[in-house]
Chains A and B, each alone.
Chain A
Amino acid sequence: MNTRLWRHWEWLLDRPWLLPALLAGGLVLAFAIPQYQLFNNYIQLILMYIGINIILTVSLNLVNGYMGEFSLAHAGFMAVGAYTSALLTMEVLPVGTYPSLFPVALLAGGAATAVLGLAVALSSFRVRGDYLAIITLAFLMIVKSAIENVDAIGGPRGLPGIPRLTTLPWVFFWTVTLVWLVRNFVYSHYGRGILSIREDEIASDLMSVDTRRVKIFAFMLSSFCAGIAGGLFAHLLQFISPRVFDIVKTTEILIMVYLGGIASIGGSIIGATLYTLLLEVLRPSTMASLLSWLPAPIFDPLYEYFIRHLGVLRMVIMPLALVLVMLYWPRGIMGMREFRGFVPRRDRAAHHALDTPAESPHGTADRH
């Protein structure tokens, strides 16, 4: 590693204005990109997927990474948020005349999902580990078959004609807000509570942590975020069906969590972004246009034998990538580590998992 470059990078990471500057830049871009068509619609769509996937990944990481449980219910949470908010914007709220009511629908979807999260939390009092994973899987199946069997919301055919209300600024707003809330939760006494539950639940209880309350909060916050993400997803796709929210969706979110690394917000953001991009790059049309600069003698056979089949191949490549990550990189990109900028200043001196040793011993001593 070039040490001088590294020092500059270190210096940059330590700037207190770095995160606000990035956020302000992101906000400007979120408005400017659709306004001035800086990128085509396809890329805008991908950007919105990235935002939604970041929300899903960060919120699942709260339960699977920080708390150390293994929840498979996330696609089910997403479904409840998606259906609740979609039904509200289609049937109840006059979003045609007042598009600003969209967040109300999303919040209602999030709240409905949080109630379901409470149910999962209650079952987590009695069982842990593998058994809780099975219970969350059952929750996912219940949600899916419940939707399939209610004809009024389309049953297995799904729910078409949802107004397209999800825009890049909205996705940006919700991503930043929800990630911020999860980060604040993680760096609070509740967050330390779920970390201590992961480490040793009985010792945690004996150190005065109200483990049940902390679990309820963590599950409800996690499912609330998943519900909002589901709402954004529904109003972007404009069509949802129970089949969208099956175990494959949960698996995708799990891949993003473990690729990025458990118990890391920065990791989740990286994991979600990388995975979403990879998934898109591995589409035949995207790959073809990315490689179109290759001369025809190379491109043509490549297209014939590889790119054309990517639609099928990527369903092999992505799981294979997960297997390789788990084998050779089990902690993921940022497993149990965190970017300094995401850690509140007062927590940095004695953080268990910063990306690099942040402050010298002198830095910690001058507090007194």
Chain B
Amino acid sequence: MALLTATDVRHYFGGLCAITDFNLALHRGELMGLIGPNGAGKTTIFNLITGVYRASQGSIRFQDTELVGKTPHQITALRIGRTFQNIRLFRELSVLDNVRIAHYAQTRCSLLEALLHTGRYRREEQRIIDHSRELLAIFKLEHLAGEKAKNLPYGSQRRLEIARALAIGPELLLLDEPAAGMNPNEIGQLMEFILWIREQFQLTILLIEHQMKLVMGICERIKVLDFGQTLAEGAPEMIQNDPQVLKAYLGDGAIG
């Protein structure tokens, strides 16, 4: 059975149908790419999955749980982590706190224990700090733990966003244009890195990307969207030669 299933999802913004009959079956351990021209509705799909928008029609299921109608934090707590197209870190907070905040759903202590800072509460806090530091070490950000997130260089901010998403302990990771603003060399490193965290954290990954090198290089399956509709789905080689996809990306005259 698929880890994430979307069935006939539609979403309207006012009268505009942004997503039409979206279907998806993402299997555990898979690395799938979601591509399409600007405005195709890729990020909208992420927002529908994570509950930022509520799908107008259809059903999205994660394992056995219906996601439509749940709030973002409830969905995230089911272990779905995500990053953002335009980095959305907590800019004025420290790097460590950015990662610590994402542990919210894993805390077990009550308000009273938090207000009194009981022994159990302090141990829980220490566990979260230790886990956050481990993550930062993996992402080579440990020496920046006390720095404000906004002071980090661009590439480190991207890494921190992924570290923060992993702090949730996700089974499914949604990456929204992780390679945006990177040069070819950095993209190469990022590809290896994505494959490595998939192994390390046993992730299922759905990723949006414009960089064909990255998508074609690491995705096992690719889904192409245009104007909210699914144009094609399949292995990278198949997508590369799909006439409809070429048309959407390169325009009519390009084929031939």
Contacts and interface: CB of A to CB of B under 8 A. Distances in A.
Nearest to B132: A350
For A187, A190, A199, the residue with the greatest tally of chain B CB atoms inside 10 Å of its CB is: A199
Interface in B80-136: 82, 84, 88-97, 100-107, 111, 114-117, 121-122, 125-126, 128-129, 133
Interface residues of A, number: 38
Interface stretch (A36-44, A145-153, A205-213, A231-239): A205-213
Nearest to B79: A208
A210 B91 contact: no
A184 interface: yes
A189 B96 contact: no
A344 to B, nearest CB: 7
Interface string A253-285: 000000000000000000000000000000000
B77 A208 contact: yes
A202 B84 CA distance: 11
A350 B100 CA distance: 11
A185 interface: yes
B73 interface: yes
A174 B88 CA distance: 39
Contact of B90 (A189, A199, A344, A368): A199
B102 A346 contact: no
A344 B101 contact: no
Contact of B97 (A184, A192, A367): A192
A208 B105 contact: yes
A367 B77 CA distance: 29
Contacts of B100: 189, 192
A189 B82 CA distance: 20
Interface in A210-238: 210-211, 217, 221
Nearest to A199: B90
A181 interface: yes
Contacts of B143: 361
Contacts of B167: 207
B71 interface: yes
Interface of B: 50, 52, 71-73, 76-77, 82, 84, 88-97, 100-107, 111, 114-117, 121-122, 125-126, 128-129, 133, 143, 145-146, 148, 164, 167-168
5 contacts: A181-B115, A184-B115, A195-B90, A202-B88, A350-B146
Ranked nearest first, the 6 interchain pairs of A and B with the lowest CB-CB distance are A350-B96, A208-B105, A188-B114, A199-B90, A352-B94, A208-B76
Given A208-B73, A350-B97, A352-B148, 4 more contacts: A199-B91, A200-B89, A349-B96, A352-B93
